[in-house]
């Protein structure tokens, strides 16, 4: 079986693939505090995609007064994941990145939110479908995707459907993520051993599931996928018997997909 891909041991095993110490990091990346980001959250990722294509190499803006070691660790992780994905594509691997696909039963989980409230998937499904989005705060594709999930939540989350973010980070940085990207739906923490992430067999984030009240997965989406998000919108609109509102604005330049 090998090491679970979301475990700390697995992350440690891939880090030697790229030693960030050999990559010259400008002094301002490790010494300047993060600038508040108040504009359209899509613009920074669009800029990076123009520079690097589908690469996961991004400019890592450290938290205020963060040590250089934190920035180097995040850069090393992102570079390593990019190398692994390219090797996988070159080798012709076409395996799904999660073993939970549409038609499968969604594994049960029960996790605590930022305010220590317990969220059980079984209990949530008694009220209607659940959109569960697994993410990591340092993931640029997660940062790109969550504003669109918030749009879905604002339109379809008021009656019946539950939106739930599943964070692989601690409470402090997860709370900062909600403020930075305007997330208002509940976020739960999957940080200690990643029990929910491992149960779903995740190897990348974001991974988003639309789960029907009977527990079956209707949509299983990895990375940012425009069509998958539109499918989720269509399914939720049909459930509420309401007119479908376009998820993406005409003046937005949105790629068809971005690998996580």
* CATH for 175: 3.40.30.10
Q: Is residue 105 part of a domain?
A: no
Question: What range defines the domain where residue 221 resides?
Answer: 110-258
Q: Is 12 or 186 the better-scoring residue by pLDDT?
A: 186
pLDDT at residue 91, rounded to an integer: 56
Alpha-carbon distance of 76 to 70, in angstroms, equals: 10
Q: What is the mean predicted confidence (pLDDT) over 146-165?
A: 93
Whether residue 118 sits in one domain with residue 223: yes
Whether residue 61 sits in one domain with residue 141: no
Q: Is 79 or 216 the better-scoring residue by pLDDT?
A: 216
- For residue 239, pLDDT over 60 is answered with yes
Burial (Cβ within 10 Å: 0-12, 13-18, ≥19) of residue 239: middle
Whether residue 116 sits in one domain with residue 59: no
Whether residue 39 sits in one domain with residue 150: no
Nearest residue to 127 via CA among 164, 165, 162, 163: 162
Q: What is the mean predicted confidence (pLDDT) over 127-143?
A: 97
Residue 86: pLDDT band by 50, 70, 90 thresholds? low
Mean of the per-residue pLDDT values for the chain?
Answer: 76
pLDDT at residue 151, rounded to an integer: 96
Percent of the chain scoring above 70 in pLDDT? 62
pTM, two decimals, is 0.66
Whether residue 189 sits in one domain with residue 249: yes
Q: Is 183 or 7 the better-scoring residue by pLDDT?
A: 183
- Chosen domain end from 41, 59, 90: 90
Q: Is 29 or 185 the better-scoring residue by pLDDT?
A: 185
Whether residue 170 sits in one domain with residue 119: yes
Whether residue 202 sits in one domain with residue 235: yes
Q: What is the mean predicted confidence (pLDDT) over 244-252?
A: 94
pLDDT at residue 207, rounded to an integer: 97
The answer to whether the beta carbons of residues 174 and 167 sit under 8 Å apart is: yes
Lowest mean pLDDT among 73-77, 107-111, 181-185, 245-249: 73-77
pLDDT at residue 92, rounded to an integer: 52
Q: Is residue 2 part of a domain?
A: no
pLDDT at residue 20, rounded to an integer: 36
Q: Is residue 68 part of a domain?
A: yes
Whether residue 114 sits in one domain with residue 82: no
Number of structural domains found in the chain: 2
- Chosen domain end from 90, 120, 145: 90
Whether residue 135 sits in one domain with residue 79: no
Alpha-carbon distance of 32 to 169, in angstroms, equals: 23
Residue 53: pLDDT band by 50, 70, 90 thresholds? very low
pLDDT at residue 104, rounded to an integer: 96
Task: Tell me the pLDDT tens digit for each residue of 3-17.
Answer: 444 444 444 444 443
pLDDT at residue 90, rounded to an integer: 57
pLDDT at residue 159, rounded to an integer: 73
In this structure, what are the phi and psi dihedrals at residue 3, rounded to the nearest 5 degrees? -80, 135
pLDDT at residue 150, rounded to an integer: 98
pLDDT at residue 260, rounded to an integer: 83
In this structure, what are the phi and psi dihedrals at residue 163, rounded to the nearest 5 degrees? -105, 135
Whether residue 235 sits in one domain with residue 157: yes
Whether residue 244 sits in one domain with residue 185: yes
Whether residue 133 sits in one domain with residue 166: yes
Residue 137: pLDDT band by 50, 70, 90 thresholds? very high
- Chosen domain end from 38, 60, 90: 90
Nearest residue to 231 via CA among 131, 115, 162: 131
């Amino acid at each position: 079986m090998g090491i679970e891909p979301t475990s700390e041991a697995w992350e440690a095993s891939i880090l030697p693939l790229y030693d960030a110490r050999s990559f010259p990091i400008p002094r301002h990346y490790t010494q300047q505090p993060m600038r508040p980001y108040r504009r359209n959250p899509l613009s920074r990722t669009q800029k990076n995609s123009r520079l690097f294509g589908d690469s996961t190499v991004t400019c890592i803006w450290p938290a205020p007064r963060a040590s250089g070691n934190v920035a180097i660790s995040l850069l090393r992780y992102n570079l390593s994941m990019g190398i692994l994905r390219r090797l996988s594509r070159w080798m012709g691997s076409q395996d799904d990145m999660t073993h939970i696909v549409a038609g499968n039963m969604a594994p049960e989980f029960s996790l605590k939110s930022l305010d220590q409230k317990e969220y059980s998937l079984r209990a949530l499904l008694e009220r209607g479908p659940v959109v569960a989005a697994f993410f990591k705060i340092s993931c640029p594709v997660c940062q790109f995707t969550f504003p669109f999930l918030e749009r879905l939540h604002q339109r379809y989350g008021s009656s019946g459907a539950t939106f739930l973010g599943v964070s692989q980070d601690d409470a402090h940085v997860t709370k900062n993520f909600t403020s930075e990207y305007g997330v208002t739906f509940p976020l739960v923490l999957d940080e200690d051993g990643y029990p929910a992430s491992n149960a779903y067999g995740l190897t990348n984030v974001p991974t988003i599931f639309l789960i029907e009240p009977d527990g079956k997965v209707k949509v299983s989406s990895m990375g940012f996928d425009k069509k998958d998000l539109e499918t989720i919108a269509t399914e939720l609109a049909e459930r509420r018997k309401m007119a479908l509102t376009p998820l993406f604005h005409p003046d937005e330049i949105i790629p068809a997909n971005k690998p996580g």
